[in-house]
Amino acid sequence: MLPLSEEQKLVRDTVRAFAREELWPLAPAYDESGEYPWPQLGKLAELGLLGMATPEAWGGAGMDAVSWALALEELAYADPSVAVIVSVTSGLPQYMLLKFGTDEQKERFLKPLARGEWIGAFALTEPQAGSDPAALKTRARRVEGGWVLSGTKAWITSAGQAQLYVVMARTGEERKAITAFLVLKDDPGLSFGLPEAKMGLHAAHTAELRLEEVFVPDERVLGEVGRGLSHALAGLDSGRIGIAAQAVGIAQAAFDIARDYADEREQFGRKIRDFEGVGFKLAELDTKIAAARHLVWSAARRKDAGGRFTLEAARAKLFATDTAVTATREAIQVLGANGYHKDYRVERYYRDAKVTEIYEGTSEIQKLVIARELYR
């Protein structure tokens, strides 16, 4: 495993202590109620964790990408719903504003996001455009002083809760003639569907976003007109590191529960960890989680170095999310009937893990990205 600096260890240990004291005890109740975790997000904002990777000059904590990944892993260990909200708001809108925004946009929009006064959302997916984002139908019509947006977005994390939405809309007839816009929650014509009834991540609300003749002034165009798709894909490279880190946290939590249970549970007069069927399973999971964490850190270090990190992010997301699903499934198997019971938490981690293979690019899309990057 690549070594961590003392500062990175401090970030990990600080977030771990907070997450296990503040998030862990409440996570099952939030899973049951489906309530958006505003109180926890408020505490995270006080710690500067909603703008971890944004420079201090723009209201953030100025952490490196490795520290960001470490923090997300610890948050996901305690509550994956909170982790994905933090990953999206910090890894997509903030990253895109930092990379493509004007100083005026950073002052007006990035600072409140980084300070945790706002939550940000990323609106690319549509009912008919998921893995093929260039097929989106939301349109932006040019008018005096700005643009008018009309269309529907689907599966948007924090929709209806977030104050700022980075919305991709078509601004030309060419397939990739797409532009990114900064849309505010109180913009006239913007509305939201009810939170989706999902398999997992119940506290991280996901809903439809509807734009009915929403006027967006020119000063809220993010980046270049017609370059929104490339801007969005750059944001997804960053976001995929966050989701991979979330997946590692989920996998580690489920593994730890299974490991401890195997040391306590006895059958046939022996601890079940002494049976090869269980011991070998734990050995394989431990190895997979260590490898996944290494890929996440490598991608984060590549991002910190300032180079292109598309390949590294795709590798990390592909492997880490597969590991999360495998680890949670096998943890249930180790616990047997108890693993199927909510009191042992692993069934929730199993439900929360599956979507990591789907959002911010399915596993199949990650394989396409990796195959493409091999020949760049």
Task: Report yes or no on 92 lying in a domain.
Answer: yes
Check pLDDT > 80 for residue 317: yes
Percent of the chain's residues with pLDDT above 90: 97
CATH number at residue 147: 2.40.110.10
Identify whether residues 191 and 139 lie together within a single domain: yes
Task: Report yes or no on 23 lying in a domain.
Answer: yes
Is 219 annotated in the active site?
A: no
283 and 289 Cβ atoms separated by less than 8 Å:
no
**Cα 231 from Cα 130, distance rounded (Å):** 17
Give pLDDT tens digits for 213-259.
999 999 999 999 999 999 999 999 999 999 999 999 999 999 999 99
Task: Report yes or no on 211 lying in a domain.
Answer: yes
Q: Of the listed 73, 264, 360, 364, which one is catalytic? A: 360
User: Which pLDDT score is estimated for 227?
Assistant: 95
Identify whether residues 348 and 268 lie together within a single domain: yes
**Cα 224 from Cα 102, distance rounded (Å):** 11
Check pLDDT > 80 for residue 352: yes
Q: Write down which residue in 226, 259, 289 finishes a domain.
A: 226
Task: Report yes or no on 353 lying in a domain.
Answer: yes
Give pLDDT tens digits for 75-120.
999 999 999 999 999 999 999 999 999 999 999 999 999 999 999 9
Q: Write down which residue in 226, 258, 282 finishes a domain.
A: 226
**Cα 88 from Cα 233, distance rounded (Å):** 14
Percent of the chain's residues with pLDDT above 70: 100
Task: Report yes or no on 125 lying in a domain.
Answer: yes
Check pLDDT > 90 for residue 374: yes
Task: Report yes or no on 164 lying in a domain.
Answer: yes
**Cα 298 from Cα 269, distance rounded (Å):** 44
Residue 340's pLDDT band, with cuts at 50, 70 and 90, is very high
Identify whether residues 158 and 76 lie together within a single domain: no
Identify whether residues 235 and 369 lie together within a single domain: yes
**Cα 357 from Cα 86, distance rounded (Å):** 18
Identify whether residues 251 and 357 lie together within a single domain: yes
**Cα 77 from Cα 7, distance rounded (Å):** 21
Task: Report yes or no on 209 lying in a domain.
Answer: yes
List the domain range (segments joined by +) for residue 105. Answer: 6-114
Instruction: Specify the number of domains making up the chain.
Output: 3
Identify whether residues 235 and 199 lie together within a single domain: no
122 and 360 Cβ atoms separated by less than 8 Å:
no
Q: Write down which residue in 226, 244, 278 finishes a domain.
A: 226
- pTM for this predicted structure: 0.96
Check pLDDT > 70 for residue 273: yes
Identify whether residues 362 and 238 lie together within a single domain: yes
Identify whether residues 235 and 357 lie together within a single domain: yes
Identify whether residues 258 and 222 lie together within a single domain: no
Give pLDDT tens digits for 289-308.
999 999 999 999 999 999 89
Task: Report yes or no on 1 lying in a domain.
Answer: no
Identify whether residues 127 and 215 lie together within a single domain: yes
Check pLDDT > 90 for residue 1: no
H/E stretch holding 217 reads: strand 206-217
Identify whether residues 244 and 206 lie together within a single domain: no
**Cα 237 from Cα 240, distance rounded (Å):** 5
Identify whether residues 177 and 190 lie together within a single domain: yes
